[in-house]
Structure 1
Amino acid sequence: MILSCQNICKSFGEKIILKDASFHIEDREKAALIGNNGAGKTTLLRIIMHELSPDSGNVVLAKDKNIGYLAQYQDIHGHHTIYEELISTKQHIIDMENRLRSLEQEMKTTTGDALDSLMNTYTRLSHQFELENGYAYKSEIMGVLKGLGFTEEDFERQIETLSGGQKTRVALGKLLLASPDILLLDEPTNHLDMESISWLETYLLNYPGAVFIVSHDRYFLDKVVTKVVEIEAGNMRMYSGNYSAYALKKAQLRDAQYKAYLNQQRDIKHQEAVIAKLKSFNREKSIKRAESREKMLDKVQRIDKPQEIQNQMRISLEPRFVSGNDVLTVESLSKSFPGQTLFSDISFEIKRGERVALIGNNGTGKTTMLKIINGLIDADSGRFTLGSKVQIGYYDQEHHVLHMEKTIFEEISDAYPTLTETEIRNMLAAFLFTGDDVFKLISALSGGERGRVSLAKLMLSEANFLILDEPTNHLDIASKEILEEALNSYTGTVFYVSHDRYFINQTATRILDLTNQAIVNYIGDYDYYLEKKEELTEKYAPAAAQAVTEAKQASDNKLSWQQQKEEQARQRKRENELKKVEARIEELETRDKEIDETMILPDICTNVAECAKLSKEKAAITEELEGLYEKWEELA
């Protein structure tokens, strides 16, 4: 175990952020920390880094281990270039290299015992230099810089000229090169394009230390982590597996909790009915029995009704008019800026009902294309045509469609003057703005809050063609899932830019890849795009590389055949056990229901011996069911 948090509590005023939060990270383990916005993820990381003090509890780091921390926002100062900033992490290796060169010069003019001593020192230092990758440290730096999306032309750029996102990438590069025993990463993919995120996934999978990641990028978490630590309403819980495994287990637990709540409510109602019946007999013994049951009922620890995630958005999308079948036709579109051609001679069509994702690396012109289609900027050449009855709803990641001087309420009421105050408040409440929140100025809102206001305006527009630029930016996972559900049930047409691969997988029916100033069309989701792109790459790869790949696959197939057989056998055994458990659960639940129905019959509920017998049987059923539910969860 490299890191342990024990019973961490933290409050800000009356708001409880963490309650007895405990978890641990093993050496080399890759784990995720997830929770809604405001749940306390960054607070916990800052407590681990001793930037904040907990109200109670302890953070324990294994002896002689060190932590590296990437905060969400970085403000690196200085007059260094990007390359100089990263090479500073290797100063100890540079010092060793200089010492080796110095020793080499000394050995040329030294003899006897002094030479032997120098040679011994040189041998030890050379060994240490080799162990610390001294002969390849420059290649390592180049690899990290290029992996994070910097070109060789960028290497000499001054740090002070970089944007906030570029500074964060530099900070991430420095952290990876420093190679601490445990990495704490707060939203590391925020400023990376798809290629860089894919590179980071591979880097972290092979990272020799432990990694603890806060991220809303579910695809990234699926690829990298083997454990999920969740913060929900101040409470913490650990799940083994990646994000998808966590989501499945979470849903099963919520279902189990809801079932337990319903079962208890049914038992309580049954007991209340029996008590009422006993009291109705109006006899001393029956009243005493009723009072005894009431006392027992009062002692029952009530299960709170499980609720869906609090304050989540409720989005309903419905176009006012149905558009024609041809929604958008783009013909020979080109756009350049001084010194940079974004795309040229681009042509494509979008039909009604399609959900098309436009993907590509940073700087390829995706947002520019959306702005051209929305009429915000002009193309250099070519044209686009909107189909019959097409009404655009535009979501701008920079929120230029919002007026900074207005309040949230004014932003909606001015755009839609026919709405009543109640209707506006109900819509804003769906986007988490309640009470006096609606009178906040747009200029005072965070990026995520502005995003929610923009989405609210979009929902009210009743457009039949949604153009969305990075709609999931600043949304937490729960909000992303709600938006995915809304788009999937939307009967209009959607054209969007996104770096969120999980979101694309859930919503896209087609992908347009903007690469090398041209468009490549893929009819499917993101996984389909990856598969087809790999096929195309292999098709045009050199024959030798193809032969190596095929040989490796043949070798892997020999090895995996036996593993597949063993896994299939385990799967069949698990499925058979699952069927048996489900059958037994159904049998017991049926009998439990029969007992409930029997015990309220007049001739039974007055029969003490029979009631006792049935209650004993019911208790035994409840106990067995609890064990079966747990076993079912494991098997399922």
Structure 2
Amino acid sequence: MSLINVSNLTFAYEGSYDNIFENVSFQIDTDWKLGFTGRNGRGKTTFMNLLLGKYEYGGTISADVGFEYFPFPVENKEDMTLNVIEDVYPDYVHWELMRELSWLQVSEDVLYRPFASLSNGEQTKVLLAALFLKENSFLLIDEPTNHLDMEGRQLVSDYLNTKKGFILVSHDRAFLDNCVDHILSINKTNIDIQKGNFSDWWENKQRQDNYELAENEKLRKDIKRLSDAAKRTSNWSDAVEKTKNGTTNSGSKLDKGYVGHKAAKMMKRSKSIEQRQHSAIDEKSKLLKNIESFENLKISQLAYHKSRLAELENITISYGDKTVCRDISFTIDQGERIALSGKNGSGKSSIIKLICGEPIEYTGQYRPGSQLKISYVSQGTSHLQGNLTDFAREHDLDESLFKAILRKLDFARVQFEKDISAYSEGQKKKVLIARSLCDRAHLHIWDEPLNFIDVISRMQIEELLLEYAPTLLFVEHDREFCENISTKVVEL
């Protein structure tokens, strides 16, 4: 056991006026299994790059271990997988490698195939196995779940549960709950570490948020009471001041000395109350510093003229000699939220392409409803570029509504001025979801919409779908999201 000490860490990117971290201090035990959480753009990947020594920073980071980053960058993916592993760790012992691969249910033959020929899930497992072989290393594991199907996620989560000494960035709640014993969270104003899994942390956070909200409500009422009192006192003082040179109602002359003394006393009392009011406002500003905005999202889907939107009957899709799915039949009816489920490569994206009208070779019957309007969220984000105003105009969106949705998904206004290509992967995915929520469509089709998206935003999207019950066909490997959202599961 040893400690990683972070002391007074301060960092901002070159050319930026805003610090991502400011005087942050904490300690990490190298035996811990840390889940790393925080909303998109808060600096999770940046912090891991600071641990790796990639940027200059203020403060100190000291550790008796070396840091290794996942995913390991593979220069030439055409190399044999065994050669890639040797690049990761030249001194590996073969039987130890085979032990790790067996725990991850990866067969030995993958070692003698080009790395590029492995599925994304197999690549993830091979690199994790190689990195965990390295002694005296603390692993920084950045979103390993994005290329894993539900079964693969369970397997990797079980594997990580047997390990120690890592920071894991993942937004999959069930995945985190199964394999971490501490949570490292980047909040609005600080970095916090708590013992327990994600559910423990979330329960504690909600309890703290509710306490702060209750304190804020009491303070708000107190401020209103003080404000009203200060206003009354000020009016009283002004009224007395005005009578200094006047007369009483009976017409007799006023004692100016007495009235002046009384006015001064009222002014002093008014100032005292005003100072108390400002003190209360200052106190208020210290509260709610880490409460995350969790505003409700909205979707206004077009009503379709029939209850059934589309029907697939005995659909088989092949690419050359390879059949990716066979004899798939299901219907899409209004109000259904259909989860397309199956292992990677089982044809989920091909089915989506067919329904979206892309040219694809298939047999069987696909019967879409007439004039059916579809809003589609793709897996990939690499095509996104330009500013948000141009993006809204290009996709015929209500710009103010589009940006309002992004604000609710924790976009700072400063992000609106940046090029979309400079966004984090999670922020790019939010752009696609916000666009889809603005679309006037009968059917929404989302292909792995939650990749890279933070947990709180996932919960917002869940609440939206449960409240408005739009017709939705989706592929998603987040088990908890699927269980909460789907009304029907189509297994491929």
Please, what TM-score do these two structures have when normalized by structure 2?
Answer: 0.80
2:191 alignment counterpart: 236
Letter in 2 for 1:172: L
Partner Cα distance (2:63, 2:416) in 1 = 44
1:156 and 2:112 equivalent?
A: yes
Letter in 1 for 2:399: I
Asked whether the equivalents of residues 35 and 231 of structure 1 are also in contact (C-alpha less than 8 Å), the reply is yes
1:267 alignment counterpart: 222
Pair 39,276 (structure 1): closer, same or farther in 2 beyond 3 Å: same
Partner Cα distance (1:234, 1:306) in 2 = 10
- How far is 1:165 from its partner? 8.0
Q: Deviations over 1:528-586 (max 9, x none)?
A: xxxxxxxxxxxxxxxxxxxxxxxxxxxxxxxxxxxxxxxxxxxxxxxxxxxxxxxxxxx
Unaligned residue ranges in structure 2 (runs of 5+)? 241-261
Partner Cα distance (2:87, 2:413) in 1 = 51
Partner Cα distance (1:487, 1:241) in 2 = 29
SS of the equivalent of 2:48 reads: helix
- How far is 1:488 from its partner? 1.9
Letter in 1 for 2:36: L
SS of the equivalent of 1:7 reads: strand
Q: Deviations over 1:439-464 (max 9, x none)?
A: 87777766545534433442233212
2:42 alignment counterpart: 39
Asked whether the equivalents of residues 7 and 19 of structure 1 are also in contact (C-alpha less than 8 Å), the reply is yes
Letter in 2 for 1:246: W
Q: Deviations over 1:16-36 (max 9, x none)?
A: 111232333335322112112
1:223 and 2:178 equivalent?
A: yes
Letter in 1 for 2:317: K
Q: Deviations over 1:286-325 (max 9, x none)?
A: 5444444444554554222637977888642112224533
Partner Cα distance (2:67, 2:4) in 1 = 13
Partner Cα distance (2:445, 2:421) in 1 = 24
1:561 alignment counterpart: none
Give 2:139's match in structure 1, choosing from 183, 194, 201.
Answer: 183
Letter in 1 for 2:61: V
- How far is 1:405 from its partner? 8.4
1:204 and 2:160 equivalent?
A: yes
Unaligned residue ranges in structure 1 (runs of 5+)? 95-133, 515-636
Pair 408,49 (structure 1): closer, same or farther in 2 beyond 3 Å: closer
SS of the equivalent of 1:302 reads: helix
Give 1:476's match in structure 2, choosing from 431, 454, 464.
Answer: 454
1:193 and 2:149 equivalent?
A: yes
1:336 and 2:318 equivalent?
A: yes
1:257 and 2:237 equivalent?
A: no
Asked whether the equivalents of residues 402 and 435 of structure 2 are also in contact (C-alpha less than 8 Å), the reply is no
Q: How does 1:554-565 map to 2 (within 5 A)?
A: none
2:247 alignment counterpart: none
Give 1:465's match in structure 2, choosing from 443, 465, 470.
Answer: 443
Asked whether the equivalents of residues 72 and 88 of structure 2 are also in contact (C-alpha less than 8 Å), the reply is no
Question: Relative contact order: is structure 1 or structure 2 higher (C-alpha 8 Å, sep ≥ 6)?
Answer: 2
1:454 alignment counterpart: 432
Pair 25,441 (structure 1): closer, same or farther in 2 beyond 3 Å: closer
Pair 510,276 (structure 1): closer, same or farther in 2 beyond 3 Å: same
2:362 alignment counterpart: 380
- How far is 1:86 from its partner? 3.0
SS of the equivalent of 1:431 reads: helix
Partner Cα distance (2:72, 2:294) in 1 = 26
- How far is 1:496 from its partner? 0.6
Partner Cα distance (1:407, 1:298) in 2 = 41
Asked whether the equivalents of residues 7 and 21 of structure 1 are also in contact (C-alpha less than 8 Å), the reply is yes
- How far is 1:364 from its partner? 1.3
Asked whether the equivalents of residues 76 and 167 of structure 1 are also in contact (C-alpha less than 8 Å), the reply is no
1:69 alignment counterpart: 68
Q: How does 1:120-131 map to 2 (within 5 A)?
A: none
Q: Report how many residues are paired.
A: 459
Partner Cα distance (2:295, 2:232) in 1 = 45
2:23 alignment counterpart: 20
Q: Deviations over 1:581-612 (max 9, x none)?
A: xxxxxxxxxxxxxxxxxxxxxxxxxxxxxxxx
Question: Percent identity over the alignment?
Answer: 26
Partner Cα distance (2:431, 2:114) in 1 = 36
Pair 186,450 (structure 1): closer, same or farther in 2 beyond 3 Å: closer
1:488 alignment counterpart: 466
Please, what TM-score do these two structures have when normalized by structure 1?
Answer: 0.64
1:59 alignment counterpart: 61
Letter in 2 for 1:239: Q
Q: Deviations over 1:469-490 (max 9, x none)?
A: 1111232233322222222223
Pair 465,298 (structure 1): closer, same or farther in 2 beyond 3 Å: closer
- How far is 1:179 from its partner? 5.1
Letter in 2 for 1:320: L
Q: Deviations over 1:248-286 (max 9, x none)?
A: 222222222222222223223323444455552752555
1:303 and 2:284 equivalent?
A: yes
Letter in 1 for 2:342: G
SS of the equivalent of 1:398 reads: coil
Q: Deviations over 1:94-117 (max 9, x none)?
A: 5xxxxxxxxxxxxxxxxxxxxxxx
Partner Cα distance (2:88, 2:99) in 1 = 12
- How far is 1:247 from its partner? 2.1
Pair 21,438 (structure 1): closer, same or farther in 2 beyond 3 Å: closer
Partner Cα distance (1:411, 1:46) in 2 = 31
2:392 alignment counterpart: 412
1:424 alignment counterpart: 399
Pair 395,43 (structure 1): closer, same or farther in 2 beyond 3 Å: closer
1:7 and 2:8 equivalent?
A: yes
Asked whether the equivalents of residues 67 and 139 of structure 2 are also in contact (C-alpha less than 8 Å), the reply is yes
Greater gyration radius: 1
Asked whether the equivalents of residues 311 and 331 of structure 2 are also in contact (C-alpha less than 8 Å), the reply is yes
